[in-house]
Amino acid sequence: MSASESRLQDAQARAAAALPAATHPASAAAEDASATAYAGLATRAIAFALDAAVVNGAAMLVTVVIGLGLSLLHVSETARVALVAIGGIVWILWSIAYFVFFWSASGQTPGDRLMRIQVLDARHRQPPKPVRSLVRFGGLILAALPLLAGFVIMLWDDRGRCLQDRLAHTIVIDLAAAEAAAAAALSVPEARAAAARRHSRAP
């Protein structure tokens, strides 16, 4: 066996031994990067504004249709007051159903999907169950009461959690940032493998 062949085999052996060790830390780094890509306050606020527009827009459309129908009928004042009260209750139920359904189904409301963020169970990293989503909606209302203080606290939280996230044990992930960080982390072993292959081909 020539000296060049011996060096080639040694280089291939070192590359094969290095690849598993390089791959595992990078995979862990990718997971850590995904886990820490939490959505920011501005992104979450825009997503919520979009959802509020959908909820209120649908409610206003239904209200206009019902109002036009009632204008053609002779309805007593008592009946009108009752209908307004019923409408308010229906609006509340519709708002709850909207958020709870989308959070528990995929972790993304339409607004979240547009802004590429996702609500996940903090422990299992899955969309929250319906009960947990309901708790989160209640926390959303409570967060807005003390001058929005329940939202601002995310600025001092290491996982970017608002009051509703703390109560429901959820986190909000920035999908775009998570994907970019994971891709960057996973590219490390690929670069090392390519370097090892180039080195093994060297005379």
Q: Tens digit of pLDDT for each residue in 99-134?
A: 999 999 999 999 999 999 999 999 999 999 999 999
The distance from CA 120 to its chain's CA centroid, rounded to whole angstroms, is 6
Radius of gyration of the chain (CA): 27
Asked whether 115 and 106 are in contact (CB, 8 A), the reply is no
10 Å CB burial of residue 21 (0-12, 13-18, 19+) is exposed
Using the CB atoms, write b or e for 80-117: b if 16+ within 10 Å. Answer: eeeeeeeeeeebeeebeebbbebbbeebbbebbbebbb
Asked whether 196 and 19 are in contact (CB, 8 A), the reply is yes
Looking at every residue in the chain, the average pLDDT score rounds to 83
- Output the pLDDT for position 183: 76
Q: pTM for this structure?
A: 0.75
- Output the pLDDT for position 29: 47
Which of residues 92 and 21 earns the better pLDDT score? Answer: 92
